[in-house]
Amino acid sequence: MTSAPRERQSRLEPSAALTTSPAQARSLFRAGLEVPTTGWAAGYAQTNLIAVPEDWADDVREFCARNPRPCPVLDVSEPGDPTTRLAPGADLRTDLPRYRVWHNGALTREITDATGVWRSDLVAFSIGCSFSFETLLRAAGIPLRHVEQGRNVSMYVTNRQCEPAGRLSGPMVVSMRQIPETLVEDAVRVTAAMPAVHGAPVHVGDPAELGVADLARPDFGDPVDAEPGDVPVFWACGVTPQAALMASRPPFAVTHAPGYMFLTDQPDRDYQVG
């Protein structure tokens, strides 16, 4: 039995989203607000979610350990436990704006409340998200075109294969931001200092080198328009485990919908090194 769908509400103004606290944002999502979380709760880290049956948890744990750029693990729950130390009192079943449900590697539905599908054997992995370094990019004077355009970030499946682990394998997924060419070095410097939320870009420039044929047709998220002088810059992305689900076909999983993240109570600067 699944929970009744929540009513979709309208998007907040960008300035209001930026200044909303993580707890306030989670409350809005729990009440039915369904929006991508880029540009939300400035200054706080966001995470990707993948929850798998306990007998697959070691495979996910090892896959993440072997592929730390796209899959930096920030927290792991006990079986069946929907809480996380990243936000005491929050509930991973209700506090994200949108979820995906998977059966045998196939996406079977998207929902806004995962309470009805959450199982007592699910182990939840909270994985670092590149939205976490966007506040620092903004502070460095680097524009975020997707936020300016009111869109989700663009994400692409690449031709780069992750290192397999146990029963899990699959390609790396990347997020792309259009960065003014004169600011690319600054973007690399800022993000390199945050390896727990994907770190420095994995590629700058020609998307064909990643096997991406058309930036206007992302695999996840929205197409984002470039401004004159922009260069596409690609970061490893926490949607990578979803690509591994599709390739490896575990019997069941619950994940976030790409771009619809969990907002933690952890300041993003806590993940800055050096």
Q: What's the pLDDT tens digit per position in 187-235?
A: 999 999 999 999 999 999 999 999 999 999 999 999 999 999 999 999 9
168 bridge partner residues: 165
Q: Domain tally for the chain?
A: 2
User: Is 50 exceeded by the pLDDT of residue 2?
Assistant: no
pLDDT (0 to 100) of residue 244: 97
Residue 93 belongs to a domain: yes
* DSSP string for residues in 56-94: HHHHHHHHHHH-TTT--EEEEPPTT----TTSTT--TTT
pLDDT (0 to 100) of residue 7: 36
- Contact indicator for 126, 73 with CB cutoff of 8 Å: yes
- Contact indicator for 158, 201 with CB cutoff of 8 Å: no
Give the helix ranges, DSSP H, for the chain.
Answer: 14-19, 22-31, 54-66, 134-139, 145-148, 184-192, 240-248
pLDDT (0 to 100) of residue 79: 98
Tokens at 76, concatenated = 């792991």
User: Is 50 exceeded by the pLDDT of residue 32?
Assistant: yes
Averaged pLDDT, 131-137: 95
Task: Look up the pTM and report it.
Answer: 0.92
User: Is 90 exceeded by the pLDDT of residue 137?
Assistant: yes
Same domain, residue pair 126 and 18: yes
Averaged pLDDT, 19-40: 95
Same domain, residue pair 139 and 201: yes
- Assign 157 a pLDDT band (cuts: 50, 70, 90): very high
In angstroms, rounded to a whole number, what is the distance separating the alpha carbons of residues 134 and 74? 18
Sign of CA dihedral 197, 199, 204, 209: negative
In angstroms, rounded to a whole number, what is the distance separating the alpha carbons of residues 80 and 85? 15
Query: 162: domain CATH number?
Result: 3.30.2040.10
Count the helices and strands in the chain (H runs, E runs): 7, 11
Q: What's the pLDDT tens digit per position in 50-105?
A: 999 999 999 999 999 999 999 999 999 999 999 999 999 999 999 999 999 999 99
Same domain, residue pair 89 and 155: no
Please give the residue range of the domain that contains residue 231: 133-240
Same domain, residue pair 139 and 229: yes
Average pLDDT, the chain: 94
- Contact indicator for 167, 248 with CB cutoff of 8 Å: yes
Averaged pLDDT, 232-249: 97
Same domain, residue pair 20 and 31: yes
Q: What are phi and psi of 223, to 5 degrees?
A: -70, 145
**Is residue 31 classed as helix, strand or coil in its secondary structure?**
helix
Same domain, residue pair 46 and 153: no
pLDDT (0 to 100) of residue 13: 56
